[in-house]
Chain A
Amino acid sequence: MTTPENTYRHPFHSFFDCWLVELNNNLEKLVSAANHHHEDDDINDDPDSYSLIDKAVGHYEEYYKAKSDGANDVLSMFLPPWLTTLEDSFLWIGGWRPTTAVHLLYSKSGIQLEARLADLVPQLNCRDLGDLTSNQMKRIDELQKKTIGEERVISEKMARLQESAADTSMVDLSNMESEMIRKNEYHGRKDSDEKVESALNGKNDKLVEMLRMADGLRIETLKSVVEILTPLQAMYFLIAAAELHLRLHDWGMKKDAA
């Protein structure tokens, strides 16, 4: 999480560093709670486990809130300098792809299920993510369908926005300015600057809107998954999410430093 001293640090960067530290704190608390309660039947009724889960989910909400507060600099939100190039390569409209949450759940659920089947006497009632009930499976599948649908809608909007980089006004403006440069008509530049500014502001607003929708779907998907799960399962899910998030960042840092 270090940046060379001489480079510009985006204000969000410091927030992000703190946010990761906090994510790590939450992770360790969840791990300890899940371990502590592993054999305990009462975990699902324990108010402490709920507050721990709420805190972890709230931590993600804070992240998106901070992003939207900083949205006047939406361009850096789309290629965040505080992320590594590895993380950049997985970005979907400025963050993780919402359906990743379902895949994360299936992967973790599979790992916990396989761990149990490896035992000679499979314990089929651990109530971890390997124990997803058919009702839970059904709701996750519904959530996945719905999320895929919404991702497609947002992706389509994003496609239109990206195509608008070459809309008539952009092409016209770029041609006018090129002509002026050719003719050395500097006196016209100020007028043209305003037009450019206004055209780009229009795009900027649309980008802010895109980011808002994408972040909205991300947090909504995360919350939906957590709601489908029992508290213990939700803990395992949030643990897996935080571990993936943190380690991916570390791996990216190593790659970028190399």
Chain B
Amino acid sequence: MAGMCCGVVGEADTPSTVEPSGGRQGRRRRMEIHQLKFLAAAASDEVAPMPDKARKRRKVENLETIEKSVTGKSLIIPAACEKVVQPCDMMRKEDSRLESSSETEILLNSCKSMSETIVETLQHEEESRFGLTMVCGRRRDMEDAVAVKPLFCGDLHFYGVYDGHGCSHVATKCKDRMHEIVKDEVENRGESPEWKDTLATSFSRMDKEVTEWSEGASISNCRCELQTPQCDAVGSTAVVAVVTPEKIVVSNCGDSRAVLCRNGVAIPLSSDHKPDRPDELARIEEAGGRVIYWDGARVLGVLAMSRAIGDNYLKPYVIPEPEVTVTERTAEDECLILASDGLWDVVSNDVACNVARMCLSSQTPASPLRSPGNEVNVAGGESSDKACSDASILLTKLALARRSSDNVSVVVVDLRRNQKHVPN
């Protein structure tokens, strides 16, 4: 296996990551890659039968910081290729107290076993390089959820950021289901689907599922305990990006945001649904609702966004209908940043774009301090994944530095083509 594809999928009893306290980022990272350890196929039976079983066990996930990025090849991803991996250093027990609390489990979504030749020919079209960071930050509850699904449907990649309110169960539900629904809708439409309709239908189905699930659910560990009417007051933003070899399709509902960095310029691919956005205000008032300024503009004085998944009690003023943008990819595209308002409230599109570019362009050469010892070679693709990871972590730290008072979730996707094997 030359590389692998990792994604945090849910909570399980994996011991927590423990890092050597004196470590240096780059070396640690390479060591982790080196130390990725395959568990026996038998073990993977326990966790890998992915979507359904994992989904059932999943509840509120407070944290995911995935530092590895995903490299997948559409041509060679049989389901059987899925394996469970854990960085070895997760097994270390420097701090036993942390162990019980860890709920993360890294699952190998796909694997790359093809020859380097094929990799070189195909990877610029097929692979997904991303970095993802999520922290609870200065909040006492984690209500964000993120889904990254490379090659979720043919050669398409899926990235979704969901920022819940009221409780986290709608965001979690979106994280578990949205990509499956989108996949279903894409497949129903066959070749070259009409994206706006595909995603609008997907969002609407997602909203219905959340509503039905809330009505029918009896077992839950939610803070809201799924009791009506409280449960009706739960919802989530959803910003979803489907990246195809030619296009970037962004579908948005709420105030999470997707920003494209193209040749140093930040281009927002979504427009926040705030109740005081003139067209949204008009829509709400036309539907008979009101926007009341109480700690900012709020629909009926309650919700500080004008569209969301869930939030039954605010319908029809708050709607799950997304706005969809379809952008042709160009050679000048650098990266795509998806994040919750924990980032955007304190970091402008331009600054975020610059920070991400800085990380992507500085393919940090190995420091002489790092031991060159028996570590696995870091392929070009993986270093650039590290760059995405560096970008997402730096943006998250910047948000915290700028006193973001919310949960912060950041996904950075590298969109550059033919960069993988360029040294530096």
Q: Which residues of A contact B63 (CB under 8 A)?
A: 138, 141-142, 145
- Return B281 CB to nearest CB of chain A, in Å: 35
Q: How far is the CA of A117 from the CA of B395 in the complex (A)?
A: 12
Q: Which residues of A contact B142 (CB under 8 A)?
A: 145
Beta-carbon contact of A139 and B397 below 8 Å: no
Contact of A134 among B24, B65, B98, B402 (CB under 8 A): B65
Contact of A113 among B135, B362, B369, B398 (CB under 8 A): B398
Beta-carbon contact of B400 and A110 below 8 Å: yes
Beta-carbon contact of B21 and A134 below 8 Å: no
Q: Which residues of B contact A224 (CB under 8 A)?
A: 95, 97-98
Beta-carbon contact of A146 and B98 below 8 Å: yes
Q: Kindly report which residue of chain A lies nearest to residue B369, judged by CB atoms.
A: A41
B282 at the interface (CB under 8 A from A): no
Beta-carbon contact of A134 and B401 below 8 Å: no
Beta-carbon contact of B403 and A143 below 8 Å: no
Beta-carbon contact of B398 and A135 below 8 Å: no
Contact of A133 among B23, B95, B400 (CB under 8 A): B23
Q: Which of B11-19, B33-41, B255-263, B375-383 touches A?
A: B11-19
Beta-carbon contact of A134 and B67 below 8 Å: yes
Q: How far is the CA of A43 from the CA of B97 in the complex (A)?
A: 27
- Given A106-B400, A220-B97, A137:B21 Cβ within 8 A: no
Q: How far is the CA of A132 from the CA of B18 in the complex (A)?
A: 14
Beta-carbon contact of B23 and A134 below 8 Å: no
Beta-carbon contact of A135 and B403 below 8 Å: no
Contact of B19 among A99, A117, A133, A145 (CB under 8 A): A133
Beta-carbon contact of B21 and A229 below 8 Å: yes
- Return A30 CB to nearest CB of chain B, in Å: 17
Q: Which residues of B contact A141 (CB under 8 A)?
A: 62-63, 65, 134-136
Contact of B396 among A127, A137, A229 (CB under 8 A): A137
Q: How far is the CA of A137 from the CA of B410 in the complex (A)?
A: 13
Q: Which residues of B contact A68 (CB under 8 A)?
A: none
Q: Which residues of A contact B340 (CB under 8 A)?
A: none
Q: Which residues of A contact B133 (CB under 8 A)?
A: 134, 137
Q: How far is the CA of A138 from the CA of B367 in the complex (A)?
A: 23
Q: Which residues of B contact A234 (CB under 8 A)?
A: 21
Interface hits, A97-126 → B, CB 8 Å = 99, 103, 106, 109-111, 113-114, 117, 122, 124-125
B-contact bits for A217-248, CB 8 A (1 contact / 0 none): 00010001001111100100000000000000
Beta-carbon contact of B101 and A146 below 8 Å: yes
- Return A37 CB to nearest CB of chain B, in Å: 13
Which of A144, A145, A146 gathers the greatest number of chain B CB atoms within 10 Å?
A145
Q: How far is the CA of A229 from the CA of B21 in the complex (A)?
A: 6
- Given A137-B135, A137-B396, A137-B397, A145:B94 Cβ within 8 A: no
A85 at the interface (CB under 8 A from B): no
A136 at the interface (CB under 8 A from B): yes
A66 at the interface (CB under 8 A from B): no
Contact of B393 among A134, A148, A228 (CB under 8 A): A134
Q: How far is the CA of A136 from the CA of B89 in the complex (A)?
A: 13
Beta-carbon contact of B98 and A143 below 8 Å: yes
Which of A122, A130, A132, A139 gathers the greatest number of chain B CB atoms within 10 Å?
A139
- Return A172 CB to nearest CB of chain B, in Å: 35
Q: Which residues of A contact B398 (CB under 8 A)?
A: 113, 117
Q: How far is the CA of A234 from the CA of B21 in the complex (A)?
A: 10
A205 at the interface (CB under 8 A from B): no
Interface hits, B89-134 → A, CB 8 Å = 94-95, 97-98, 101-102, 133-134
- Return A100 CB to nearest CB of chain B, in Å: 11
Beta-carbon contact of B389 and A139 below 8 Å: no
Contact of B101 among A127, A131, A132, A145 (CB under 8 A): A145
Contact of A135 among B67, B101, B358 (CB under 8 A): B67
A179 at the interface (CB under 8 A from B): no
- Given A41-B369, A110-B401, A148-B140, A139:B22 Cβ within 8 A: no
- Return B398 CB to nearest CB of chain A, in Å: 7
Q: Kindly report which residue of chain A lies nearest to residue B16, judged by CB atoms.
A: A142
Q: How far is the CA of A109 from the CA of B402 in the complex (A)?
A: 11
B137 at the interface (CB under 8 A from A): yes
Q: Which residues of B contact A192 (CB under 8 A)?
A: none
Q: Which residues of A contact B358 (CB under 8 A)?
A: 122
Q: Which residues of B contact A230 (CB under 8 A)?
A: 21-23
Q: Kindly report which residue of chain A lies nearest to residue B98, judged by CB atoms.
A: A142
Q: Kindly report which residue of chain B lies nearest to residue A103, judged by CB atoms.
A: B138
Q: How far is the CA of A19 from the CA of B375 in the complex (A)?
A: 48
Beta-carbon contact of A109 and B397 below 8 Å: yes
Q: How far is the CA of A133 from the CA of B18 in the complex (A)?
A: 12
A204 at the interface (CB under 8 A from B): no
- Given A145-B142, A146-B98, A146-B101, A133:B22 Cβ within 8 A: no
- Return A216 CB to nearest CB of chain B, in Å: 11
Beta-carbon contact of B18 and A109 below 8 Å: no
B218 at the interface (CB under 8 A from A): no
- Given A109-B401, A137-B396, A224-B97, A144:B65 Cβ within 8 A: no
Beta-carbon contact of A138 and B21 below 8 Å: no
- Return A212 CB to nearest CB of chain B, in Å: 17
User: Can you spell out 27 A-B residue pairs with CB atoms less than 8 angstroms apart?
Assistant: A44-B22, A106-B400, A109-B400, A110-B400, A114-B401, A133-B19, A133-B25, A134-B133, A135-B28, A138-B17, A138-B67, A141-B63, A141-B134, A142-B16, A143-B101, A144-B136, A145-B136, A145-B142, A148-B136, A148-B140, A220-B97, A224-B98, A227-B21, A227-B94, A228-B21, A230-B21, A231-B22
* Further 9 A-B residue pairs, CB within 8 A, beyond A109-B400, A138-B65, A142-B101: A113-B398, A133-B23, A137-B397, A144-B136, A145-B136, A145-B142, A220-B97, A228-B95, A231-B21
Sorted nearest first, the 4 A-B pairs with minimum C-beta distance are: A110-B401, A138-B65, A44-B22, A146-B101
Residue positions of A touching B, CB distance < 8 A: 41, 44-45, 99, 103, 106, 109-111, 113-114, 117, 122, 124-125, 127, 130-146, 148-149, 220, 224, 227-231, 234
